[in-house]
Amino acid sequence: MANLDSLSDVQAILLACELCAASNVAALPHLQQHFPTSLTVVRLFRILLSFLPESTPPQQYTTVLDEIAREVALTPYSGDIDITKVKNIEESIAWKRVRRLKLLPLKYPHADKTIEATDPLTDFLIHRAHKIDAETGLQTYILELILPFYERSEPLRQWLVSKILPLLRSNYEYYPDKEDTISLSVLESMDQTTGINVLLSMTGNTASVTDLTRNLRGLVGPWMCGAAQSKRRKLSHDLETNNATEEANTASWDDVNDWLLSRSLVEFDSVASALDNWDGPEDVDLGGYMDAAYSTDSERLRKSYGQAGLAIMYATDPAKGSLERLYQITRKIARLLQIDTAIDTDLNESSLSALDLDLSTISTASKASLLQNGLLRGDNSLTAPSPQSIRFLQAILMSARILRDHGYITSCRSAASMCLHGNAETQSWEVNAVLDMIVKQPKPGQEWRKIRKEILWLRDWRGSENTFEKTDECHGLFWRVSRVGVEIEILKAMVITGEYRLAADIYTESSSPLDITQVETAVVDTIISFYDTASNGNKTRGKMKKAVEILNAFQPRFPNSKRFKELTALIAATHALSFYSLTLQHGVPFQPVSIRVHEDPISLIEKVLDQNPKSYTKLDDLLSIGRNFVTAGLLPKLSEDREQEQGSIVIAERRIISIAVSSALASDDFGTAYSYILTRLTPSSLLPSSTPDTTTTTSPVEEDISWRAAYNAGRYRSPTTSTQSDLTSQINNLSQRMELLSLSLILAPSADPLPEVLGAWRRCDEEMTILRNREFQEAEEWDQRGDLQSTLAGGGGLATVPGGFGPTDRELDAYENAQRQQRKSRASYSNRGGMDGAEAPMGLFDVARGAARAFSKNLTPLQQLQQQQRQQHHQQVATEEEVEREGELSRSTESLERVRKRDVVSNMVTGGLASGIGWVLGAQPVNNR
């Protein structure tokens, strides 16, 4: 053995450095014994930190470290120490070399500030661990270095558990195939939030839902426990308050709860698996290096973890989270916190028992309680674990399950918000949305009796057994909606899906929960909804067919219902209109709802006539549509009296006839228009079959419609009559027009339109005069040609018929006298036509020939007496003229007879109406000249 006594203190320091550099550290305790003043514990640890290679296995120097720390050489050194390298160094030079050694500090410069003051050995081990990790990355050496000494120092134990254990598990045990490993310096540099995020987010190459549970128990658990122990002792030392210690520990785990809540929005399955398999902060794996006893703050940590679980229930997206999983987690939290929920039924149990919950504290929760940043607040009554909050959440989950079974997906947050903060209108809309989903997406074998019970249970969480209308506050998903309102919506849904018999059995019998009027209103509203949304008016197709089915199914239940009768008439009118082509303005196709919302549905018939040629010929069909419009209540009624309703029908019919007349005239079909007016619009008192005792009353509206239709037809001039028709057709057409004008004159309700009607009538009369003259001329020419041919044939020169006989001399004389009489009559007629306006033209009222009977019925008794006297006078004059002619006119032509009849009737009417309407034109009767 070398003689160490020959070495100075400075040379001993240099020798220690040489031994460390050569990894020969076994002699250091022996060297320390010879030079205790120069080779102190701290200096030797600094020399080891500075010169001992980090790749040296810890087993080679852990015993040396123990002896140095104890300052004893427990094992005698039997080797040879080579002192030749330092023995010959001069003292001054040795001092210079020692000053240039630049030994590393014993305490790691970036050590965790939360670690309390430690002994030199602990500082050395922590610094040595960082050196090993930084230089070699052999993190297993760190554990070998720390294990022999962690029981001596509590700070070292905490550091081992909070830093080394998560580091080794993440890099070597849990995820050994991961390319990116975490270094010790990086892990120590992380703050609490970052460390939780990094450790909990770790997954292998193939992600598994169990990764999060293992990370919570084996990574974050040790990392949080070691840090919490250190903080607890530090705060206890500084503040000496137990409450501060508990709050610090709880605050540490609150970050974990926040992370779980945020992560559940992205990866619900892994979070749910963690909640199922992890029992909270007490369920941690510390590797046996530390006890996980939290003493007084254990209950607080459990409640905080339970609140995180309840918060996750409300924050979960329904598309990602299974309701059965949520319900299971809720029950686990209740068991973990030893809370009796009193709801032991399974989530998918078919029978729904009535719940009686105390929600006094839950009902006061604000809207902010359901926000993401408010779910974990300690004063949140919805998520703070308690019997009320857990029972309320279970009821919400059961409600969400029922809604999900019917295709309506909703989250716990939405359901709770609807229950706590939804007003009556919002909840009613939600009920409609649920039933609409059931109707639109029917499932095979669905039973509406069961559906009804479930919807009623959702309302108050008691179901159909609850016979009280009033519901406790927030006790039910739709508790603000009255039971009657829910029953009405269920009835509508049954009717829509075709459950007519079931709906009738439940709601029209004596045990019905609804009044019969409410049932009728609900059914009618359903029919109208189908009617309004139908795209075609044909009652054998689409939604119109459905409306008819509902009407036929429930009409026997309401035999005296006025609204059902109105709907029957409305559907009949709509069906009849569907056979016509009808397009509204801007090219919008006709839909049934256009009838119901139109201010004047009769105007739609006018559009039908405009867009469908020859449709005016189907007058009976159009009149039937109009009558149904009135019966359906689409047109204003004069009153509810049946007679007055019949009057409204008459007015509608006259309007339709007037429209049909206008359409016929537009189609140049004067004959149809003339026929409609005479047969449909002429009052019964003016018909030939009427008796003097017949009395009819017409309203001003009817008279206005009738006289205008007659006037429009009377003044109509066909563009083809004057060019293509023969003279007889023209005369007949003009006669019909004059007859219609005379009818409009009779039907006019006031004297205002008389000048206009008379003006049109006079123009027609003048045209008639011209046509009659033409007729007479053509007749005379025809007679002359016939006489000439007869004369020539009688002379024998041009006889074409063998054995023919010519007229005798007496016959020829009679014929010449008749010809002279005809010329005299025509001359007299021409002279009267050329008089000035002081005398009324004889032909002014010639049209009365066709309507004399109608006029006579409207004359006063005095006028009738005057007319009889004038008729007797003219008959006497005609008789005297016939006697003077001595029978020479027996062979007169038919045209002469027509002239005489025309003159007689014209004089008769002109004289009879002189005191009537004749004064309008300032005319004077002929016989008063």
Whether 838 is in a domain gets the answer: yes
Whether 709 is in a domain gets the answer: no
> How many CB atoms are closer than 10 A to CB 150?
21
Is the domain of 263 the same as that of 409? yes
Taking only the tens place, the pLDDT of each residue in 801-846 is: 555 555 667 766 776 777 677 666 655 544 544 444 333 333 334 4
Is the domain of 222 the same as that of 309? yes
- pLDDT level of residue 411 (50, 70, 90 thresholds): very high
Q: How many domains does the chain have?
A: 4
Give CA–CA dist 858/864, Å, rounded: 10
Is the domain of 438 the same as that of 410? no
Whether 160 is in a domain gets the answer: no
Q: Count of alpha carbons within 13 Å of 691, Cβ hemisphere only?
A: 2
Q: Which of 462-466, 468-472, 506-510, 679-683 has the highest mean pLDDT?
A: 506-510
Give CA–CA dist 514/511, Å, rounded: 9
Whether residue 856 is predicted with pLDDT greater than 80 in this model: the reply is no
Whether residue 565 is predicted with pLDDT greater than 50 in this model: the reply is yes
Whether residue 448 is predicted with pLDDT greater than 50 in this model: the reply is yes
Give CA–CA dist 887/813, Å, rounded: 12
Give CA–CA dist 167/287, Å, rounded: 13
Burial of 593 (0-12, 13-18, 19+ CB in 10 A): middle
Residue carrying structure tokens 């033409």: 774
Which residues lie below 8 Å from residue 895, measured CB to CB, with a gap of 6+? Answer: 775, 776, 779
Is the domain of 411 the same as that of 468? no
Q: Which residue has the higher pLDDT, 435 or 723?
A: 435
Is the domain of 92 the same as that of 58? yes
pLDDT value for 232: 52
Q: Which residue has the higher pLDDT, 847 or 595?
A: 595
Is the domain of 416 the same as that of 434? no
Which residues lie below 8 Å from residue 598, measured CB to CB, with a gap of 6+? Answer: 604, 634
The arithmetic mean of pLDDT across residues 247-257, rounded, is 74
Residue carrying structure tokens 């205002």: 752
Structural domain ending residue among the three candidates 421, 439, 457: 421
The arithmetic mean of pLDDT across residues 7-30, rounded, is 89
Whether 139 is in a domain gets the answer: no
Whether residue 314 is predicted with pLDDT greater than 70 in this model: the reply is yes
Q: What angle do CA 871, 872, 878 make, to 5 degrees?
A: 90
Give CA–CA dist 131/218, Å, rounded: 25
Q: Which of 16, 60, 23 is nearest to 42 (CA)?
A: 16
Whether residue 295 is predicted with pLDDT greater than 60 in this model: the reply is no
- pLDDT level of residue 756 (50, 70, 90 thresholds): confident
Is the separation of the CB atoms in 328 and 276 below 8 Å?
yes
Residue 347 CA: distances (Å) to CA of 353, 388, 416, 449: 12, 18, 17, 20
What is the helix (H) or strand (E) element at residue 292, kind and residue range? none
> How many CB atoms are closer than 10 A to CB 326?
28
Whether 443 is in a domain gets the answer: yes
Q: What residue type is 469 in one-letter code?
A: E
% of residues, the chain, pLDDT over 70: 76
What is the helix (H) or strand (E) element at residue 35, kind and residue range? none
Give CA–CA dist 224/31, Å, rounded: 42
Domain extent for 228:
201-421
Give CA–CA dist 244/247, Å, rounded: 5
Show the DSSP H helices in 113-267 as ranges. Answer: 120-135, 139-146, 154-159, 165-168, 184-189, 192-200, 210-215, 221-239, 242-264
Give CA–CA dist 311/324, Å, rounded: 16
Q: Which of 290-304, 329-343, 655-669 is predicted with the least confidence, judged by mean pLDDT?
A: 290-304
Question: How do the residues of the chain divide into helix, strand and coil, expressed in percent and rounded to 5?
Answer: 65, 0, 35
What is the helix (H) or strand (E) element at residue 865, kind and residue range? helix 861-884
Q: Which of 127-136, 254-263, 794-803, 813-822 is predicted with the least confidence, judged by mean pLDDT?
A: 794-803
Is the domain of 438 the same as that of 415? no
- pLDDT level of residue 6 (50, 70, 90 thresholds): confident
Give CA–CA dist 366/385, Å, rounded: 17
Burial of 27 (0-12, 13-18, 19+ CB in 10 A): buried
Whether 287 is in a domain gets the answer: yes
Over the chain, what is the mean pLDDT? Answer: 80
DSSP string, 738-754: HHHHHHHHHH-SSSTTH
Q: What residue type is 859 in one-letter code?
A: L
Give CA–CA dist 114/117, Å, rounded: 9
% of residues, the chain, pLDDT over 90: 38
Long-range contacts of 166-169 (CB under 8 A, 24+ apart): 166/199, 166/218, 166/219, 166/220, 166/222, 166/223, 167/139, 167/142, 168/139, 168/140, 168/142, 168/143, 169/218, 169/219
Taking only the tens place, the pLDDT of each residue in 351-380 is: 788 888 888 889 889 999 999 999 999 999
Structural domain ending residue among the three candidates 421, 450, 478: 421
Q: Which of 226-240, 428-442, 860-874 has the highest mean pLDDT?
A: 428-442
Q: How many residues does the chain have?
A: 929
pLDDT value for 483: 92
Residue carrying structure tokens 């559940």: 264
Whether 438 is in a domain gets the answer: yes
The arithmetic mean of pLDDT across residues 91-118, rounded, is 83
Beta bridge partners of 589: 583
Q: Which residue has the higher pLDDT, 338 or 641?
A: 338
Is the domain of 330 the same as that of 441? no
pLDDT value for 294: 56
Give CA–CA dist 850/848, Å, rounded: 5
Structural domain ending residue among the three candidates 58, 73, 99: 99
**Does the model's pTM come out above 0.75?**
no
The arithmetic mean of pLDDT across residues 91-120, rounded, is 83
Is the domain of 323 the same as that of 394? yes
Whether 520 is in a domain gets the answer: yes
pLDDT value for 211: 87
Give CA–CA dist 531/528, Å, rounded: 5
Q: Determine if residue 474 is left, alpha or beta; phi over 0 gives left, psi from -120 to 50 gives alpha, anything else beta.
A: left
Give CA–CA dist 236/779, Å, rounded: 141
Give CA–CA dist 761/712, Å, rounded: 12
Structure tokens at 884: 């003077």
Which residues lie below 8 Å from residue 691, measured CB to CB, with a gap of 6+? Answer: none
Is the domain of 378 the same as that of 443? no
pLDDT value for 322: 83
Is the domain of 248 the same as that of 309? yes
Structure tokens at 701: 């509206």
Q: Which of 7-21, 327-341, 701-715 is predicted with the least confidence, judged by mean pLDDT?
A: 701-715
Is the domain of 390 the same as that of 475? no
Residue 173 CA: distances (Å) to CA of 91, 166, 200, 841: 53, 10, 15, 129
Give CA–CA dist 594/289, Å, rounded: 84
- pLDDT level of residue 778 (50, 70, 90 thresholds): confident
pLDDT value for 307: 95
Burial of 780 (0-12, 13-18, 19+ CB in 10 A): middle
Give CA–CA dist 270/274, Å, rounded: 6
- pLDDT level of residue 230 (50, 70, 90 thresholds): low
